[in-house]
Chain A
Amino acid sequence: MTAMSSVSIKTTIAAKPEFKFGKNKVSANNVNVFYGDKHALKDVTVNIPEKAVMAFIGPSGCGKSTFLRCLNRMNDTIPIAKVTGKVEIDNQDIYDKALDVVQLRARVGMVFQKPNPFPKSIYENIAYGPKIHGLAASKSDLNEIVEASLKKAGLWDEVKDRLSDSGTGLSGGQQQRLCIARAIAVSPEIILMDEPCSALDPIATARIEELIDELRENFTIVIVTHSMQQAARVSQRTAFFHLGVLVEEGTTDTIFTNPNDSRTQDYITGRFG
């Protein structure tokens, strides 16, 4: 990163309209994650506002993805991972023993770093979630869900004539939008995105960023990104992670123009990372 890029970030920030935050959707309190002996995430406390985009930034290995995976309990799939602390969605503890993780993940969708469409048709990729959760009463319901999800993900016009083609045959950017459509299809409240553009070219990235901005109206979005420009462009709030610690969190505006912590300042001006 050069000084120039931080200037362009400031321009980006200045060009964005004022944003009014709603209530908090997610609140995390003293979340710690251990991978075996490794203390990957230390005492993270943060609130995530609803119907807004929150970006997690920070250098590689800083814990941002680890924290993201706490929000839909994907860390459960790693046998050596241990999570302590409290994460609440709509004031409900998601680590409560009585809570069904399947239900949770239907409410909290996720899009991964590398597009991972299932080796099925485009249609079946989208229909997968609604089918397992029994969301469609009939075939025509299912068709509607598929169409609506693909439209929301801005992919409908490109694929409507080849819904039975394999999802893996699409371009990288289309695959990622397919994965977003797949996540939308079960009507989640929150969508987690783990560096969704890192495997994509600039044009496909711009397309996804536009899409994220549109989706914000209906979903709470949390995005992990390596690109500070991306965070500045798409998010309303930003949290900066470093070495497993949440260093600073605030409006994207503040974090990029007037950060409190010198580490944040150093990172956004490109002194490390």
Chain B
Amino acid sequence: MVSRISPAQMRSRRIRERMIETLLFLCAASSVLVTIGIVAVLLVESWGFFTHVPVATFLTDTMWTPLFDNPRYGILPLLSGTFLSTMVALCVAGPLGLTAAIYLSEFASPRIRETVKPVLELLSGVPTVVFGFFALLFVTPLLQATILPNLPGFNILSAGIVMGVMIIPYIASLSEDALRAVPQALRDGSLAMGATKFETAIKVVLPAAISGVAAAFVLGISRAVGETMVVAIAAGQQPNLTLDPTQPAATITAYIVQVALGDLPHGSIAYQTIFAAGLTLLLITLVFNIFGFWLRVRFREEY
């Protein structure tokens, strides 16, 4: 005789199913909720900060000295440090990363590609603190001994160069993916016209992949803007409004790390500066991501 499922059993199965679904939803939602939570904390604490310091002062004052007796709250010095170190990093990582990507995608044999790409990606596995000391104890002395004898021990240049080396794998790997996604038919078309491999790579493949390459650069910039250890260690930690990369300066991240490690009274304005700086950082990366998204849409090509 076939036993039938009892209504009670059916109900308990349904309830269990409902519970599992809820549990899975909560797991999936947790990362979104955490992000929302972070933004909320940033906004609330920054709100506290901005009730004491007008936004206009925050954006235009040229001094950042929240811990001094006579505190000034101008974010510009931190922005200039962030901007400079990011630019130096991009000047290093952009050309090198893109060249590596073009080589790997268009010239390297599959065997070389399969060896070099993982090795390149290993670079991003090196702890950033190691890169920081590499900048401070190797690159700076090297620059002092060779081309810049008057370079201070802490400076944006070394930090930026090393940060650039650090983000080469990001830019190279993502650009290479974009280049390789270009259909072979386009390369064939160009080669059959009598173009060399290099002409094909530069004039056909790269323009066709420009959206992906731009996205790679934007991601690299985002990384550099948010990078902390290298600049905190090698660039010095005093806020300095300058556009000279051979100067010491602090970035937004370096300031946050410096202040967050000190023992500031909870709720003080100095404490709230961390959140205001953090919010600024978040907004900058957001702008870059939106910019990257726009680039991708704007230059999307149909192959």
**Residue interface bits B108-122, CB-to-A below 8 A is 1, else 0:** 011000000000000
Stretch binding the partner chain, chosen from B76-84, B195-203, B275-283: B195-203
Residues of B within 8 Å of A109, CB to CB, are: 192-193
> A168-B302, A179-B189 in contact; A102/B195 too (CB < 8 A)?
yes
Expressed in whole angstroms, the Cα–Cα distance for A255 and B94 within the complex equals: 59
A105 touches B191 (CB 8 A): yes
> A102-B196, A128-B193 in contact; A74/B208 too (CB < 8 A)?
no
Expressed in whole angstroms, the Cα–Cα distance for A34 and B61 within the complex equals: 72
Q: How distant is B240 from chain A, measured CB to nearest CB, in Å?
A: 45
Expressed in whole angstroms, the Cα–Cα distance for A116 and B187 within the complex equals: 9
A118 touches B188 (CB 8 A): no
B244 touches A (CB below 8 Å): no
Residues of B within 8 Å of A129, CB to CB, are: 193-195
Residues of B within 8 Å of A120, CB to CB, are: 207
**Residue interface bits B161-201, CB-to-A below 8 A is 1, else 0:** 00000000000000000000001011111111111100100
Which residues of chain A from 104 to 135 have any CB-CB distance to chain B below 8 Å in the complex?
104-106, 109-110, 112, 114, 116-120, 128-129, 132-133
Which residues of chain A from 170 to 205 have any CB-CB distance to chain B below 8 Å in the complex?
179, 182-183, 186
Residues of A within 8 Å of B196, CB to CB, are: 102
Interface size on B, residues (CB 8 A): 23
Residues of B within 8 Å of A77, CB to CB, are: 187-188, 191
Expressed in whole angstroms, the Cα–Cα distance for A253 and B109 within the complex equals: 46
* Overall SS of chain B's interface: helix
Expressed in whole angstroms, the Cα–Cα distance for A118 and B208 within the complex equals: 8
Residues of B within 8 Å of A104, CB to CB, are: 194
Interface size on A, residues (CB 8 A): 28
* A116 touches which of B185, B194, B207, B301 (Cβ 8 Å): B185
> A105-B194, A119-B207 in contact; A168/B185 too (CB < 8 A)?
no
* A182 touches which of B193, B199, B203, B207 (Cβ 8 Å): B193
A119 touches B193 (CB 8 A): no
B303 touches A (CB below 8 Å): yes
* B301 touches which of A102, A128, A168 (Cβ 8 Å): A168
Other than the known A118-B207, A183-B193, A186-B194, what 18 A-B pairs have Cβ atoms closer than 8 Å? A72-B192, A74-B188, A74-B192, A79-B109, A102-B194, A102-B196, A104-B194, A105-B194, A106-B193, A112-B189, A114-B185, A119-B207, A119-B208, A128-B190, A129-B193, A133-B194, A166-B301, A183-B192
Interface residues of B (CB under 8 A from A): 109-110, 183, 185-196, 199, 203-204, 207-208, 301-303
Q: List the 3 shortest-distance A-B pairs measured between CB atoms, nearest first.
A: A106-B194, A105-B194, A119-B301
18 interchain pairs, CB-CB under 8 A? A74-B188, A74-B191, A77-B187, A102-B194, A102-B195, A104-B194, A105-B194, A106-B194, A110-B188, A116-B183, A118-B186, A119-B186, A119-B207, A128-B203, A132-B194, A133-B194, A182-B193, A186-B194
